[in-house]
Amino acid sequence: MGPSFQASREAFKSAKRCIPGGVNSPVRGFGSVGGTPLFIERGKGSRIWDIDGNEYIDYVGSWGPLILGHADPGVLKAMRETLKQGTSFGAPTEIETRLAQAICRALPSVKRVRMVSSGTEATMSAIRLARAATGRDRVLKFDGCYHGHSDGLLVGAGSGVATLGIPGSPGIPAAMTELTVQAPYNNLEAVAAAFASWPGEIACIIVEPVAGNMGCILPRPGFLKGLRALCDAEGALLIFDEVMTGFRVAAGSAQGLYGVRPDLTCLGKVVGGGMPAAAYGGRNDLMRRVAPAGDVYQAGTLSGNPVAMAAGLATLERLEAPGVYERLGARAQALAQGLQTLAEEIGVELTTTSVGGMFGFSFHPGPIDCFTQAQENHEARFRRFFSRMIEGGVNLAPSAYETGFVSLAHTQADIGRTLEVARKGLEAAARVR
């Protein structure tokens, strides 16, 4: 007899009466995998428990921020100490500066940084700054890369947009989307052609250095360096959207791992330690344009919220310990390779990837280098596999287009148990034609 989800079903019915679709972010609705969303009661370390009492090894981790695991004692202590002083002031606090200093120390490309409350805020603000600095309007993004839900960036987006099969979104003026230039990920020739088609008009390229919203797709050798060279030659800025990869794949984030220095960097998830916090930063000459130092306006009532800053700072300080990223990488690699080996034994087409604390898999023979190939994933097999993993006590993202996350709380035993459940899930998937 499998687990019961009756309490979650009742909670979902109640939520749908007052929340659109019953959820506050679309992918959570389980629309692409079927069934009822899990309503979570608590988490600890590598585990979560739903309101029915079912326990899961969790590879969602609040979609990436919880690199230390759920309810990390050090993070909770830092938050409690900050809460004693108050929740929010709408005024400067010293902890904002301390987190900003930690980011600047870790990322040589970031000389100044502005705190915001979400990754969407970070990317839209960085693009506004790039347009102001260059005097140009067009933005080049890559098919399948997701940079938040602001106007202009939902064109060809991955993540929930791809999961739900939405081509963009009603309510966005055509005049906004016309300023967005698209190119396939990992295709430098298409980028060069775009610059040739709109000479002197493209303000910036925004890119996920590791594409984490159409699975987990790594940049081809030379791709990121090629983008840097094209931007330099064309007078455009290069923006790395490291909301997902920032402090997740390496101590110096993806830009340090791949040796490419962007002009502007967007951060989120890990820098908030599980609280709503994000940031954008970059070169001194660019960041001096941001108000009140300069003329590019951006503001936020809860930007630099002290409780969120405390959680983020406690997280980044823990990540400075020796061997942290080696352990994360080893766990993610063991999981990805284990899934690959099982699939080969069972005879089901699967391709897996991992980098730092991120991993991905697709029911596709591979390789996968771009969104078009990612869309060839066998979705029916993914749905069957996902449901078997949930039934076996393993929580994965309810979408074939999302990355999985390993935390420092995951153990070798967790990986081993996950692969035991995955064997049954892959056998079930293999029976789907």
Going by C-beta distance under 8 Å and a sequence separation of 6 or more, which residues neighbour residue 379? 32, 363, 400
Tokens describing residue 212: 């984490």
Instruction: Say how many CA atoms lie within 13 Å of 196 toward its Cβ.
Output: 7
CA 298 to chain centre: 23
Catalytic member of 58, 269, 280, 369: 269
Is residue 269 annotated as part of the catalytic site, yes or no? yes
Is 146 tagged catalytic? yes
Residue of 58, 72, 143, 241 marked catalytic:
241
- Check if 59 is active-site: no
- Phi and psi at residue 239, to the nearest 5°: -110, 125
Give the residue numbers annotated as catalytic, written as ranges. Answer: 146, 241, 269
